[in-house]
Structure 1
């Protein structure tokens, strides 16, 4: 399954492990074991790099929550649980879309509850390619 691509999709995911390696004292991430052990209904916070129409700063960076739907090879399929601030509402990149991600992208975790487990069982507004 292909990962989101900045030039194809207009956004991609940044690697949280790289941020942590660059600044381990100030950029905390959950343990690798926790990031590899997510279950449907868990929420994972990811860093999104988004292409924007600004010559001086062509990319926006947003930290947003993704609801884990299922485990797949090399990671997870989730549903975006936030609306990005840097782009106008659209059908391709907005809350409710499905996206793949891996443990390396996870910078925080919020454990599931009955409500999020039920939400994870519902289909996304738009499936990943």
Structure 2
């Protein structure tokens, strides 16, 4: 399954581990075991790089929560649980869409509860392409 691509999708995910390596004293991330052990219903905070089409500031960076739906080879499929601030509502990239991500993208975790587990079992507004 392909990762989000900035040129193809208009957004991509930043590597949280790279942020941590660049500033280990000020940019905390959960330990690897926690990031690799997410289960359906857990919430993972990811850093999104979004094309906004403004010539003066063409890229917005936002931290948003993603609800883990399932574990897949190499990572997870999740559902975006926030609405991006930098763009208008749309069908391609908005809360409720499915997206893949990996442990190295995760910068924070909120553990699952009954409500988030039930939400993770629901169908997303739009599935991520499987090919």
Q: TM-score range by the shorter chain?
A: over 0.9
How far apart are 1:58 and its partner, in Å?
1.1
Matched, 1:23 2:52: no
- Per-residue CA deviation, residues 44-75 of structure 1 (Å, 9 max, x unaligned), is 00000000112222100000000000000100
Distance 1:97 1:55 in 2: 27
**How do residues 1-129 of structure 1 correspond to structure 2 at under 5 angstroms?**
1-129=1-129
Distance 1:88 1:57 in 2: 16
RMSD after superposition: 0.4
What is the DSSP-based 3-state SS (H/G/I as helix, E as strand, rest coil) of the residue aligned with 1:4?
Answer: coil
Distance 1:22 1:57 in 2: 23
Unmatched 5+ residue regions in structure 1? none
Structure 1 runs of 4+ with >2 Å offset: none
Distance 2:66 2:107 in 1: 11
Aligned length: 129
Distance 2:84 2:26 in 1: 24
Unmatched 5+ residue regions in structure 2? none
